[in-house]
Every structure is written in C-alpha cells, then in structure tokens.
Amino acid sequence: MFFLKIYLGIEMANKKWIQGVEKEMEKDNTEGTFSAKAKRAGKTTHAYALEIIKKYKGKDGLTEPQKRLLKQAVLSENFRKMRAKK
C-alpha cells in the first residue's frame, strides 16, 4: 500500500500537479492572494513576482512568511508561463 501511494503521488506530480494546486487554492480560499499583494505594492503581478524571486531566491535564513511569499511568486510565474504556451 505504501508503494502504491508513492507511485500515485509521483503520477500526480508528473501529470496533474497544477490541478491539485488550483483545487487546494480554492478550498483554502487563497485564490488571488498574491495578486492582491502585488496590487498593494503598486505593481503588476508579473513585476512583483520577479522582484520577490530576485530578492529571496537562494537566500538562507528566510522567515516562514518570506518562504511562503517566494513560493507564491514562483507559482505565479509558472502559471504565467503555462498560460503563454497555450
């Protein structure tokens, strides 16, 4: 059973990880949170994401909120790149 869960987890990661993220965002009511932060900063979502990635990526000693913000920025850029490929 353990190996089946690992296999299914890998399959989910390989094929449908983005759908899982979208569902989790809807469930947690966090859809649009990063965009709202960008708007408060007076920037577009893309510009804000690039700023955050440049500021925090590869840095040690980030606080939990900084780590969360970096993850949100990277996810935002991944969504943007996926949308551009269509």
- Confidence check: pLDDT of 15 > 90: no
In this predicted model, what pLDDT tens digit does every residue of 28-53 receive, in sequence order? 766 688 889 999 999 999 999 999 99
Same domain, 57 and 17: no
Distance in angstroms (rounded) separating the CA atoms of residues 40 and 33: 11
Helices (H), the chain: 2-15, 17-28, 33-40, 45-56, 64-85
Per-residue 3-state assignment (H helix, E strand, C coil) for 10-34: HHHHHHCHHHHHHHHHHHHCCCCHH
17 and 59 belong to one structural domain = no
The mean pLDDT of 53-81, rounded to a whole number, is 91
Identify the domain containing residue 58 by its residue range.
Answer: 33-86
In contact, 77 and 53? CB cutoff 8 Å? yes
- Say if residue 7 is in the same domain as residue 42: no
Name the band, by pLDDT with cuts 50, 70 and 90, for residue 12. Answer: low
- From 27, 25, 73, 81, select the one nearest 53 (Cα to Cα): 73
**Together in a domain, 51 and 40:** yes
In the prediction, which pLDDT does 31 show? 66
